[in-house]
Amino acid sequence: MLDALLSFYPENDLRQDAPLIVFPSNAQLSLRAHGMAGSTLRRHLAALVEAGLIVRKDSANGKRYARRDHTGDIENAFGFDLSPLLSRAEELAMLAQQIAAERAAFKRMKENLTICRRDVRKLISAAMEEGDEGDWQAIEDIYVGLIARLPRTPSPADVRAILEEMQMLKEEVLNRLENQEKAEKSSSNDAHIEQHIQNSKPESINEPEPSSRKEQGAKSSEGNGGQREPLKAFPLGLVLKACPQIIDYGAGGAIGTWRELMSAAVVVRSMLGISPSAYQEACEVMGPENAAVAVAGILERANMINSPGGYLRDLTRRSERGEFTLGPMIMALLKVNGLAQTRAG
């Protein structure tokens, strides 16, 4: 509609020293607007006025026309005043640039999601076809669940959320395949392979909690000569889908930031009987965000864990040795909680 109005302005550029009022009839406007219906035309004109992009200048009888002097120049005109476009030119130019940048970023984000989901699909299919060890059906279920959550006409926020989770899923799949490849190369017989599988499983969840890490002796610290890679961070939204119970312990029964998750984890730590020293050690080794995620995961399995404090210390020790990552735990919980929410929706 704005393009149609501007087409009635006689010059190429809006100028302050020139008349800025156009006065087409609705019939003329409809033709310039590719046959737009009268009711739609009036609605669009009202929207432009409300947005402050044009101003109505009505005549006494409500008609749009121009009164000319004896030389033929316009003396007075009644119709739509385009001067706001000129006075807000800088503002409108900045808005146009911002919208163009947002559209370009959205396009790149959708392209990245397309590439990522294709990569994940190929990796899962290859692993299943080759019979690689692991619950690849569960991984595929998570993948299908992510795709199902994407609306037919997604918003930037929708695409951003799914892309983050899809990238995390891709990293987890690659980590599993890489770990399996390393295990196959380093193992010389079936016994070694079996030992690797046993080491990759969580240790007894019934282990009592020692008073502190110092009482465990110096052997573990001597065996940690190699550098330990930091635990990978996960999107907060994904963590809360996998561990929804901790949301009840957030301020006001909600969690919207990592700080709120960490505060809720402190409450849960106390409720589960995990000692402050055990939680502090987990924060030092895993990082405070990942320690909070670990506590959230323990809360989800609280009915299966006899000693939450001992279990957290065990995860801390294994994390320090590079034998524990949060990925498998989150994936397992997401399969139970995330997919249940998807089906319910």
73 domain-assigned? yes
Contact 317, 224 (CB under 8 A): no
Q: Are residues 251 and 304 in the same domain?
A: yes
Q: Is residue 97 part of a domain?
A: no
Contact, 223 vs 321, CB < 8 A? yes
Q: In which domain, by residue range, is 251 found?
A: 202-219+234-344
Does any domain span residue 194? no
Query: Are 38 and 76 found together in one domain?
Result: yes
Are residues 320 and 213 part of one domain?
yes
Residue among 48, 56, 45 nearest 21 (CA)? 56
Predicted TM-score of the model (pTM): 0.48
Are 160 and 126 part of one and the same domain?
Answer: yes
Same domain, 178 and 242: no
Question: Tell me, what's the pLDDT at 186?
Answer: 61
CATH of the domain at 29: 1.10.10
Are residues 128 and 244 both part of a single domain? no
Residue with tokens 């994936």: 331
Q: Mean pLDDT in each 10-residue stretch from start to end of the chain (345 residues)?
A: 86 79 87 87 91 87 83 82 88 92 94 92 84 80 88 92 89 80 58 43 46 43 44 74 91 88 91 89 90 93 88 90 83 72 50
In terms of C-beta density within 10 A (0-12 exposed, 13-18 middle, 19 or more buried), how is residue 95 classed? exposed
pLDDT confidence of residue 339: 53
d(CA 108, CA 103): 9
Crossing angle of helices 288-300 and 258-272, in 10° steps, is 50
Per-residue buried b or exposed e for 166-185, using 16+ beta carbons within 10 Å of the residue's own CB: bbbbbebbeebbeebeebee
In a domain, 340, yes or no: yes
Is 139 in contact with 124 (CB distance < 8 Å)?
yes
pLDDT digits (tens, 9 = 90+) for 281-339: 999 998 889 999 999 999 998 888 888 999 999 999 988 888 888 888 888 888 777 55
316 and 215 in one domain? yes
Does residue 329 share a domain with residue 206? yes
Q: What are the φ and ψ backbone dihedral angles of 155, each rounded to 5 degrees?
A: -90, 165
Of 254, 327, 324, the closest CA to residue 286 belongs to 324
Examine residue 26 and state whether it is found in any structural domain, yes or no. yes
d(CA 174, CA 124) in angstroms, rounded, equals 10
Is residue 259 situated within a structural domain? yes
From the number of C-beta atoms within 10 Å of its C-beta (0-12, 13-18, 19+), residue 86 rates as middle
Is residue 46 situated within a structural domain? yes
Q: How many CB atoms lie within 10 A of CB 77?
A: 19
* Residue 212 and residue 312 in contact, taking contact as beta carbons nearer than 8 Å: no
Q: Which of 5, 58, 10, 12 is nearest to 33 (CA)?
A: 5
Query: What one-letter code names the amino acid at 41?
Result: L
Count: domains in the chain: 3
Same domain, 215 and 274: yes
Q: Residues 145, 242: contact at Cβ < 8 Å?
A: no
- pLDDT of 184 reads 62
The last residue of a domain, from among 30, 52, 87:
87
Residues 215 and 325 in one domain: yes
What's the CA gap between 134 and 137, in Å, rounded?
9
Which positions ≥6 away from 161 have C-beta within 8 Å?
A: 235, 237
Q: Is residue 179 part of a domain?
A: yes
- Of 87, 120, 146, the residue at which a domain comes to its end is 87
Closest by Cα among 138, 180, 120 to 330 = 138
Question: Are both 329 and 268 inside the same structural domain?
Answer: yes
